[in-house]
Amino acid sequence: MAGERLSINQEISARELRVIGAGGENLGVMPLREALERAKAAGMDLIEITAQAVPPVARIADYGRFEYERSKKEKAVKAKAKTSETKEVQIKVGTGDNDQLLKAKKAAEWLAEGHRVRAELFLKGRYKGMEEAFLKERLEQFLKRVPYPYRVAEPVTKSPKGFAGIIERDPSAKAKTQP
């Protein structure tokens, strides 16, 4: 519907139309000529709304106002549509407890906004040689500190920079927290 040009008045090619009046009442199926005469008598336009229907549906309305209302509806739909991003939080083996809490709070904010969060345990130098079970546990402990209900979208696995896992908002847990 966005940017779609509707046929009006003489541009309509169908011979018969199902016509809807200016007040929203169904005027029934009628020939194109009669529908155009009714629209002209009302001082309005005949707008073909659904060309694919059999017979096509047309409405008697002011075309400028109709387009204005349609664009307002499209903008409202666009405004309600939310895009979700994957945000990233990065910790290291030596990251302190307080810093982890701050990062966990930030991750909780992103989850509340509807984003996914990729938590990564960054390894460099000698930390790469540490035991994998310890490193995975370290990242999982960080995820347990996130004070927002979440579910694991991708479990903790080895990544090019270390270990990473992705969490996202848990809709069922959110429903339980808000009555």
pTM: 0.52
Digit-coded pLDDT (tens) for 112-157: 888 999 999 999 888 888 888 888 888 889 999 998 888 888 888 8
Q: What is the topology classification, in CATH, of domain 9-78?
A: Ubiquitin-like (UB roll) (3.10.20)
Average pLDDT score over residue span 52-65: 89
Range with the lowest mean pLDDT among 73-82, 93-102, 106-115, 153-162?
73-82
What is the percent of the chain where pLDDT is above 90? 25
Question: Would you state the pLDDT for residue 173?
Answer: 65
pLDDT over 50 at 175, yes or no: no
> Which option is the CATH number for 86-177: 3.40.1390.40, 3.10.420.10, 3.30.1490.20, 3.30.110.10?
3.30.110.10
The pairing of beta strand 162-169 with beta strand 150-159: antiparallel
Average pLDDT over residues 107-113: 90
Sketch the domain layout of the chain as residue ranges: 9-78, 86-177
The domains spanning 9-78 and 86-177 adopt the same CATH topology: no
pLDDT band with cut points at 50, 70 and 90 for residue 174: low
Contact (CB, 8 A) for 38 and 19:
yes
Looking at the predicted structure, is the pLDDT value of residue 179 above 60?
A: no
Mean residue pLDDT across the chain:
86
Q: 53-62, 76-85, 107-116: lowest mean pLDDT where?
A: 76-85
